[in-house]
Chain A
Amino acid sequence: MDLKELISQKLKAQFPEVDFEITDYKDQTAITFDRKNIVGVCSFLKKDNDLQFMLCEDITAIDWASLPAGRHGRKNRFTVVYHIFSLKLNSRLRLKSDIDESDLSADKAGGNIDSVSSVWKTADWHERETYDMYGINFNNHPDLRRMYMPEEFEYHPLRKDFPLMGIPGSLPLPKK
């Protein structure tokens, strides 16, 4: 049985109420689902004996802003992308969860996305970087600070509305 079928069977048995959209592109499997289930699905994929996705390789986000409407057929602005690897199956899996700009406010119930740093420790810095670059808040993150930019920087540089040349004056020089 190939990876796609195995995972789709396992996930449907474990999470009957969740919609999983499983796609294949150039032999790479991607699973898209609602962000509310991210921690549950991740810890299941990690702990299941037949799968054992122990290694979290990468977490990032995509900003779909300013694309002509309908080109990707999506309403949400961001997609958070996880790449995980199973040392047992020697295969890689991509998890995707959509999140919209309006869901990013810190106080809104059900907004934001949960942190998976409780599942994989390595997610800590990846999520910090995603927060720094896209302004996506992760709930229950142990230390959500900026990764690269200074703490007083007000923008999120990898968002499509941040100009390539930067914003003059956004990085103040230290006082003499």
Chain B
Amino acid sequence: MEKIKTKEEVPAKILQALLNQETDITIDNALENEMILNMGPQHPATHGVLRLLLRLDGETVMACVPELGYLHRGYEKMAENMSYYEFIPHTDRLDYLSPLANNVAWVLAVEKLAGIEAPPRAQYIRMIISEMTRIASHLVAIGALAMDVGALTVFLWTLREREKILDIWDILCGARFTNSYTRIGGVANDAQPEALAKVKWFIEQYEENLEECEKLINTNRIFVERLDGVGIISAEDAVQIGFTGPNLRGSGVEFDLRRATPYMFYNEIDFRIPVYKEGDCLSRYFVRVDETRESIKIIRQILDKMPQGEVMANNPKRVLPKKTEIYSKMEELIHDFMIVNFGINPPVGEIYSAVENPKGELGFYLVSNGEGHPWKCKIRSPSMVNLQALPMLVKGHMVSDIVAIIGSLDPVMGEADK
């Protein structure tokens, strides 16, 4: 069979050869041709159902187009058709690695819209679970990043630590993930002494175990060289592209919603915002590691400050009554019936409420029409916005670096696709 000479000839010749049912096709300079590669959506290194279309020159990425939507469940549409209480379990499924932080974000948004204030003890419990969730989520991010670049042991060790946090959730609310623990106006139940004792035990032993994990990789030449100087994004670009959370702080911008627009009692807490200036994968990894240490510091202060008291607000028209009271008191039964069937009817208005989630800024934009369900609910998910930087970051890098870059951005597709 004749040899194909130039690039332009290739498609027609191959087509002809295929039409003739020839199987022996040879192309000169095969490595000099550009290749289109489809990565995902079912790919272990894309952390879910992310699909990337890559244009490759040899092994160098020339262009990358992310395709989202493989996990699109239409939560914004569903939110418009259910009451504010009913949507709490659905927030678990957004960023499924940090369900409790999503619960907190949702109830804070609804409370702001409806003008409810949760009692201090409930707010402190919410802060504990937000910070514990941040540790759990960052542990998965660190472990998965290490696994993506070839260090499997770290993943097992960080997941062992995360398991301890999940055990605390088990005591606290009876579920390990998809907790749905918060309620509008408070939390479902008071934190049990056993749960708080376990939190104390966890923060005492955590740093030692984290250091063990760090020893495995921080001085590991393979790990460091796979991440150092890879996927660099400057501070200006990071703000332009809409980065929030650890990814933005990895580029040297000291921006944290807990400090910038304090919510709950974060303004009373003393903590540092870890910032690294390099903007590469390694600095994003260091930010996450340091942030878990800061979270430990925050939890320690919360445990000292946490007051006793109620965990649900006293607002009968808006806040669900206790189960025991529903069965014994008439008023509570009526309120329960009204809230479950017709919703809490916040006044006409609109609010945007955002919290610092492990992945970045999780915001809810709610428009109320005065009815029991939101007229409009927009979920501002950090993972989706962070993924937008991917084409910029991977350009000019090797295929194997894509895996490291995705791992360092730490997207969760449940949130990116809503």
Contacts and interface: CB of A to CB of B under 8 A. Distances in A.
A158 interface: yes
A125 B384 contact: yes
Contacts of B74: 157
Contact of B388 (A30, A54, A122): A122
A83 B352 contact: yes
Interface string A112-152: 00000000111011100000010000000000001111100
A108 interface: no
A122 B380 CA distance: 12
A111 to B, nearest CB: 23
Interface string B346-362: 00011110100000010
A147 B69 contact: yes
B13 interface: no
Interface stretch (A34-42, A86-94, A98-106): A86-94
A124 B239 contact: no
Contact of B378 (A26, A60, A121): A60
Interface string A4-32: 00000000000000000000011010100
Contact of B242 (A28, A55, A92): A55
Given A58-B365, A62-B367, A83-B365, A28 B72 contact: no
Contacts of B302: none
B376 interface: yes
Contacts of A122: 240-242, 385, 388
A162 to B, nearest CB: 8
B37 interface: no
Chain B interface size range: 35 or more
Interface in B156-203: none
A28 B352 contact: yes
Contacts of B68: 147-148
B77 A87 contact: no
Contacts of B369: 67, 71
Interface string B218-245: 0000000000000000000101111010
Nearest to B82: A164
B239 A87 contact: yes
A28 B351 contact: yes
A120 B112 contact: no
Interface in A35-78: 54-58, 60, 62-63, 67, 71
Contacts of A25: 349-351
Contact of A26 (B81, B240, B351, B361): B351
B260 interface: yes
A133 B76 CA distance: 10
Contacts of A121: 237, 240-242, 388
Contacts of B351: 25-26, 28
A15 to B, nearest CB: 24
Interface in B58-112: 68-69, 72, 74, 76-78, 80-81, 112
A164 B253 CA distance: 41
Contacts of B385: 122, 125-126
A58 B349 contact: no
A90 B77 CA distance: 31
A133 B365 CA distance: 16
B401 interface: no
A149 B67 CA distance: 10
Nearest to B261: A90
A124 B384 CA distance: 12
Given A58-B380, A125-B388, A26 B349 contact: yes
Interface string B106-128: 00000011010000000000000
B77 A158 contact: yes
A58 B241 contact: no
Contact of B239 (A26, A54, A81): A54
- Nearest 6 Cβ contacts at the A-B interface: A122-B242, A148-B69, A148-B72, A60-B378, A58-B380, A121-B240
Given A58-B365, A120-B242, 5 more contacts: A57-B352, A83-B380, A121-B237, A125-B385, A164-B81
25 contacts: A26-B349, A54-B239, A56-B242, A58-B352, A58-B380, A60-B365, A60-B376, A62-B376, A63-B376, A67-B369, A83-B352, A83-B380, A87-B253, A90-B260, A121-B241, A122-B388, A125-B385, A125-B388, A133-B76, A146-B69, A148-B72, A148-B418, A150-B69, A158-B77, A158-B80
Interface of B: 68-69, 72, 74, 76-78, 80-81, 112-113, 115, 237, 239-242, 244, 253, 255, 260-261, 349-352, 354, 361, 363, 365, 367, 369, 375-376, 378, 380, 384-385, 388, 417-418
Interface of A: 25-26, 28, 30, 54-58, 60, 62-63, 67, 71, 81, 83, 87, 90-92, 94, 120-122, 124-126, 133, 146-150, 157-158, 162, 164
